[in-house]
Amino acid sequence: MPIEGLATQLRKGVIEYCVLAMLRDSPRYGGELVQLLRSQDGLLTSEGTIYPLLSRMRAEDLVDTEWREAPAGSPRRYYRLTKAGHRAVVEFQREWVRFRATVDGIFGDRGGR
Partner 1 sequence: MSAPHADQLVSDYLGRLDSALAGLPKSRREEILDEITNHIAEERSRLHDESDADLRNLLDRVGDPAEVADAARDESDEPRLPLPNRRIGPVEVLALVLTPLFWPAGVILLWLSPAWNLRDRLIGSLLPPGGYIFIFFFLPVILIGGLQPAGGCGTVMDAQGNVISQSCTGFEALPGWQQALFQAAGIGLLAFLLVLPVLTAIYLTYRARKWSAETAV
Instruction: Name which of 31, 28, 57 is nearest 44 in CA terms.
Output: 31
Is the dihedral angle over the CA atoms 19, 25, 27, 31 positive or is it negative?
negative
For 11, phi then psi, to 5°, come to -60, -45
Among 1, 3, 59, 106, binds partner 1 (CB under 8 A): 59
Among 23, 30, 62, 78, binds partner 1 (CB under 8 A): 30
Query: Site for partner 1 (CB under 8 A): how many residues?
Result: 22
Pair 30, 50: CB distance under 8 Å: yes
Binding of residue 19 to partner 1 (CB under 8 A): no
C-beta of 53: minimal distance to partner 1 in Å? 6
Footprint on this chain of partner 1 (rule: CB under 8 A): 30-31, 34, 45-49, 51-56, 59-60, 70, 72-74, 76-77
